[in-house]
Amino acid sequence: MSFLVLLLAVWIEKFSALRHRIQRDGGWVRELHKLEVSPRLANRPWLILVILVLLPVALLGLLLVVLEPVAYGLMALPVHLLVVIYSLGRGDLLAGLGPFRDAWRREDLQAAAHVAKRDLDICADSGEQLLERVQGHLLWEAYQSFFAVIFWYFLLGPVAALSYRLLALAEEHGQNLAVVERAAQLRHAFDWVPVRLLAASFALVGNFVAVSRVMLHELLNWNISAAQLIEKVGLVAGEIPAPVVGPDGINSLDRIWELLLRAAVLWYAGFALWTVLP
């Protein structure tokens, strides 16, 4: 059922607006802010995460335990699908890059810097640095929005996928520094395996030798963040040249996207093979 859910999730994401109707975080974020300023909980970040992350996933797990035996698991299928869609990243990654791509193609660095700050929350001291950060943004957002979620769903089911997204929301929207730090620590642990698996996938669909050189030093490095690792590996795997202004710079983003698509196909092929094996 996991592979079917992943196929349906991709189809719905590409051809339906259902994802945007499901991904409503306003109520959860309001509760997060309310608990962060509560006199009883403000200094107890772990308890806040227990209430807003552990409790919802525990309730989800209980619901699935009840539904799984019914009708050979068919009653649980919609729940799996809704949870996976909710757990995917927010926004449209390619659409968000559109204004930046247009400005960069025109070689309008001032407009590119403006839309990068407005749409991507990215600032830089130079045009070259700006493009490098946008390239890193594309790799990181694709990883955390899609690859990390489908990895944990396929491995441990919807409970793990939902846990990852709720931790990401706590890190992104938290206003209490202690809560943000604890959520980031847990998310770092969640990211450790899937980001290295994606790096290995880049080696298979990109420049194997260059990726191997990077991973030789970073494979067991606990201190490097997932964003840093996936950027380093993605750029060498795709053989991305030095940043340049104009259409050639946009071509580097296209090459990164093609690398991500090849890795996604590889993952789905692996999931399919694992599903049919006895």
The dihedral through the CA atoms of 234, 237, 241, 244 has a sign that is negative
Cα–Cα distance measured from residue 256 to residue 63, given in angstroms and rounded to the nearest whole number? 39
- 68-93 pLDDT tens trace: 887 777 888 999 999 999 999 998 89
Residue 278 banded pLDDT, cuts 50, 70, 90: low
Distance of CA 58 to the CA centre of its chain: 22
Residue holding tokens 């407009």? 111
Number of Cβ within a 10 Å radius of residue 69:
10
Task: From residue 55, give the alpha-carbon distance in Å to each of 58, 102, 163, 175, 220.
Answer: 5, 44, 10, 20, 32
Asked if pLDDT for residue 155 goes beyond 90, the answer is: yes
Q: For residue 125, with 0-12 CB atoms within 10 Å meaning exposed, 13-18 middle and 19 or more buried, which class applies?
A: exposed
Cα–Cα distance measured from residue 222 to residue 219, given in angstroms and rounded to the nearest whole number? 8
Q: What share of the chain has pLDDT > 70, as a percent?
A: 100
The mean per-residue pLDDT over the stretch 105-133 comes to 89
Q: Which amino acid is at 178?
A: A
Q: Please name which of 220, 218, 238, 240 lies closest in space to residue 229, comparing C-alpha atoms.
A: 218
Cα–Cα distance measured from residue 49 to residue 46, given in angstroms and rounded to the nearest whole number? 5
268 membership: H or E segment, kind and range: helix 247-276
Q: Please name which of 226, 57, 11 lies closest in space to residue 157, comparing C-alpha atoms.
A: 57
Give yes or no for a contact between 243 and 134, defined as CB atoms under 8 angstroms apart.
Answer: no
Q: Please name which of 160, 145, 100 lies closest in space to residue 10, comparing C-alpha atoms.
A: 145
Cα–Cα distance measured from residue 33 to residue 114, given in angstroms and rounded to the nearest whole number? 30
Task: From residue 239, give the alpha-carbon distance in Å to each of 72, 104, 109, 138, 195.
Answer: 47, 20, 24, 15, 19
Residue holding tokens 């991709």? 10
Asked if pLDDT for residue 246 goes beyond 90, the answer is: no
Residue 125 banded pLDDT, cuts 50, 70, 90: confident
Q: Please name which of 231, 211, 277, 269 lies closest in space to residue 6, comparing C-alpha atoms.
A: 269
Q: What is the DSSP letter of 246?
A: S
The mean per-residue pLDDT over the stretch 263-277 comes to 92
Considering the chain, what is the average pLDDT of its residues? 92
Cα–Cα distance measured from residue 46 to residue 50, given in angstroms and rounded to the nearest whole number? 6
Q: Please name which of 58, 33, 27 lies closest in space to residue 179, comparing C-alpha atoms.
A: 33
Asked if pLDDT for residue 217 goes beyond 80, the answer is: yes
**CA-based diameter of the chain, in Å?**
59
- 224-234 pLDDT tens trace: 999 999 999 99
- 7-66 pLDDT tens trace: 999 888 887 778 888 999 999 999 999 999 988 888 899 999 999 999 999 999 999 999
